[in-house]
Structure 1
């Protein structure tokens, strides 16, 4: 799901650029269509392999290393609902309510499992922030887009509370035990970028793009986190390409999205040119990811790919 999530994130970035510097909205359409196609294929495969049974879903949700991955299904659904609203508001609202409720149920189930000892056997990493922090922030952004201000405020509050709670625990664990994280799972460190980026987008969407002190606070948090990630690049770098590289995609896309909205809100000289530069850079990064993924698939037979055992920690990296 990391490919679908990242592609939807890039679609959102192009959508923001189309609203601020008149970038082509059709590019955003194409990206969301690609994200939906990948999403449907993976979801069908999951359902065909037992995902329709509640017992299997419960076991997957309680998996100590990968339980949080189920939340990516409704997150992509909510992002897509925000895009569909440009064509059919009523349909988008129905899609959003369904996936928003699904995201809330999954997040609540995860928290209930975690607080009863469900993470005792799993090393903590920032990937756990996505279902309980980023999903509520994405829900808030979409609710504002769909003109549900009260729901936007409610889900924003959920994201803030659990960002403070789980973010503190996970960051403290990383500081104390960061050296023990398996190398294939280290790209998940870039997920630290997502809460300030999605939280900033949620706040600015609720305030119609106006930059107030709180919005600038999110900008500061994002820029400082990006600086931390810059120092971590030697640690998250992998020896060879694998699907875990897509872990970088959504953090890159959503942070660029927020920076584009910030530049538009400042209205400073040259903000349009800076927006185009950011859009070109993030698009080039994704083109490189798509090309590398295609090359990775073509170099190995499909059967070998399906049967190859994942190295320790790679599963967590691949699903983010």
Structure 2
């Protein structure tokens, strides 16, 4: 990585792997897919998190400093992803050791709240222009809150889950209006930020998964409402597909992984809660497509690293 600059959107790699692990976990609930598969992917996500975290932390300590990283109007929102991953890994650890998993989750939750609160205050203080906003601004509070609700519910912290669901939902309503106003009224995002448009799909999917976790997988009016908005965002992603074809592959391309995989996980929870004809075949089809997509991203990442085209150089970051 010599001569390259690491930005926090690089944590999209372990984040995407965590999304795939969540798919396999949901499939285990839906059709008794092997739980060991999700364990392997969770382990890969944890390893990838460490592989990115160590050099990224070293770069911050030797260069820009954490405050400047948080204040970056483009990459600042992505600084919440490492802490969000800690929450997810805590939830994954809980089946083997609930106490250890809960402790890891609490550490990730506190870090997520601190980063989300700091960034929200930063956005109030800074003279941000509307054109500088992008869907990555959902991550610290919307994503952080809804992921926290999901994991808290699975750990049995029902009250905390409700608090964090409200936290994420209100932030989604507030930030969503700003971000959509930016996308509707301002020039198109810069080319390398266009993959963040995939994050528009994440809030309804992540909220839906959290709601299922909080209510035992029961289909109700809230789940139906979230599914309706999620359907709109799926159609939007199809319409944006021609735009994505012209984006050069890089760390930002992993933005597709977690967002799309959370939508797949939402679908798997729906299948688990209904009597869908051919449900087993459908679950395995969704798993195959999801796994193939992540493997493709991993292969393209490996090729880019070998060719030294994946990471930005110090002069282009």
TM-score for the superposition, normalised by structure 2? 0.92
Conserved? CA contact 2:141–2:168, under 8 Å? yes
Does 2:145 match 1:131? Answer: no
Runs of 4+ in 1 over 4 A off after TM superposition: none
Alignment match, 1:199 = 207
Query: Which of 279, 289, 301 is equivalent to 2:297?
Result: 289
Whole-angstrom CA distance in 2 between matches of 1:301 and 1:111: 33
Gaps of 5+ in 2: 1-10
Aligned equivalents of 1:84, 1:155: Cα separation in 2: 20
Residue 7 to residue 309, structure 1, CA distance change in 2 (3 Å)? farther
The CA distance in 1 between the partners of 2:127 and 2:48, in whole Å, is: 30
Counterpart position of 1:2: 12
Q: Against the structure 1 CA distance between its residues 77 and 233, is the aligned structure 2 distance closer, same or farther, given a 3 Å change threshold?
A: same
5+ unaligned residues in a row in structure 1: which ranges? 316-320
Residue 313 of structure 2 is matched in structure 1 by 307
Displacement after TM superposition at 1:18 (Å): 1.1
Per-residue deviation, residues 151-205 of structure 1 (Å, max 9, x unmatched): 000000001101000101110111001x331112111101001100000011110
- Aligned residue in 2 for 1:215: 223
Tell me by how many angstroms 1:118 deviates: 4.9
What is the match of residue 280 of structure 1? Answer: 288
Measured after TM superposition, the shift of residue 239 of structure 1 is 4.9
Cα 1:309–1:27 change in 2 (3 A) is farther
Query: Could you tell me which residue of structure 2 aligns to residue 267 of structure 1?
Result: 275
Matched residues in 2 for 1:213 and 1:24: separation?
A: 31
Output one character per residue of 1:207-259: Cα deviation in whole Å (capped at 9) or x when no partner.
Answer: 00011111111111111110011101111223543232211111111111111
* 1:128–1:41 CA distance, 2 compared to 1 (3 A): same
Within 5 Å, which residues of 2 pair with 1:31-46? 31-46=41-56
Q: What RMSD over aligned residues (CA atoms) do the two structures have, in Å?
A: 1.9
In 1: Cα distance, 2:87 partner to 2:175 partner: 22
Other-structure match for 1:143: 152
Say whether the 8 Å CA contact 1:65–1:122 is kept in structure 2.
no
2-side partners of 1:306 and 1:219: how far apart? 37
- The structural deviation recorded for 1:300 is 3.2
User: Normalising by the residue count of structure 1, what TM-score does the alignment of the two structures yield?
Assistant: 0.91
